[in-house]
């Protein structure tokens, strides 16, 4: 069903990240994304009321400055408004978070969502493929990120790897602490998301069935991250003991 709107106010969002494997594609540049969005906004008769850009931040995280600012602006707006992106992955590559916003938060705040290249337009009730596309984009983003990490490792020469091994604890501890920081940050993010889901469920904006399904997915992810966090802490302690015994 089409929501009647004479001149829909829309916010345009663009994002680019090397981690998503798109930094070398000219068609995905911030400039080209915004040009495309402005053109289609004009063609559709929309009123552009804001442009938001996150450059160099992966779509697998939803903790992005301009994304957060755009969502806050949209939710604070008392009018029905829209958010328009080039494709779904520009908004985000975490399927659970993507669907949480597009299916729950946005409809409850009169925010329409349009992803041009994916033919997603929540002004219409014809978006059955959206969840499946979102899952595939998350898989692609995470798979690309893993491949890039392996490529970066493969680019190091045997000599460099040997030097790292010879230097020992200090380098390993530094990497373990970096990984630990990432894991703990994600655990905290999930706590916040689950709390938001609980609040939305308590207000009757999310059904009990939807709440159970989404919260269960996040709790499973958090459980895996907790095991990873504990393992990293144990490794750090082990390396610290090795370093102390050699000094």
* pLDDT tens digit sequence for 209-231: 877 877 787 788 888 889 989 99
The answer to whether the beta carbons of residues 181 and 99 sit under 8 Å apart is: no
CA distance 59 to 148: 15
- Contact partners, residue 152, CB within 8 Å, separation at least 6: none
**Three-class SS of residue 205?**
coil
Across all residues in the chain, what is the average pLDDT?
A: 77
CA distance 201 to 209: 10
pLDDT of residue 169: 56
Percent of the chain at pLDDT above 70? Answer: 73
Judged against a pLDDT cut of 90, whether residue 178 lies above it is answered with: no
Judged against a pLDDT cut of 80, whether residue 196 lies above it is answered with: no
pLDDT of residue 35: 95
Tell me how crowded residue 34 is: count the other CB atoms within 10 A of its CB: 18
- Among 185, 2, 189, 211, smallest CA distance to 100 is for 211
How sure is the predictor about 22, in pLDDT bands with cuts at 50, 70 and 90? low
Range name among 37-41, 45-49, 52-56, 94-98 with the lowest pLDDT average: 94-98
């Amino acid at each position: 069903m089409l929501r009647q709107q004479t001149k829909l106010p829309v916010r345009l969002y663009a994002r680019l990240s090397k981690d998503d494997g798109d930094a070398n594609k000219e068609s995905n540049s911030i400039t080209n994304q915004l040009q495309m969005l402005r053109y289609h906004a004009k063609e559709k008769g929309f009123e552009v009321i804001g442009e938001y850009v996150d450059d160099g931040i992966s779509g697998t995280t939803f903790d992005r400055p301009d994304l957060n600012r755009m969502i806050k602006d949209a939710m604070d707006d008392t009018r029905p408004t829209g958010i328009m992106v080039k494709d779904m992955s520009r908004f985000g590559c975490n399927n659970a978070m993507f669907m949480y916003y597009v299916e729950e938060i946005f409809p409850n705040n009169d925010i329409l969502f349009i992803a041009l290249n994916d033919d997603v337009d929540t002004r219409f009730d014809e978006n059955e493929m959206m969840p499946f596309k979102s899952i595939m984009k998350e898989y692609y983003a995470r798979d690309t990120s893993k491949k890039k990490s392996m490529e970066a490792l493969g680019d190091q020469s045997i000599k460099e790897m040997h030097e790292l091994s010879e230097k020992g604890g200090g380098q390993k501890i530094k990497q373990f602490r970096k990984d630990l920081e990432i894991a703990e940050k994600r655990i905290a993010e999930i706590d916040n998301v689950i709390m938001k889901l609980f609040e939305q469920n308590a207000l009757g904006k999310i059904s009990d069935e939807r709440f159970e399904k989404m919260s269960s997915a996040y709790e499973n992810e958090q459980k895996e991250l907790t095991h990873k966090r504990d393992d990293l802490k144990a490794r750090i302690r082990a390396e610290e003991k090795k370093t102390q015994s050699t000094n």
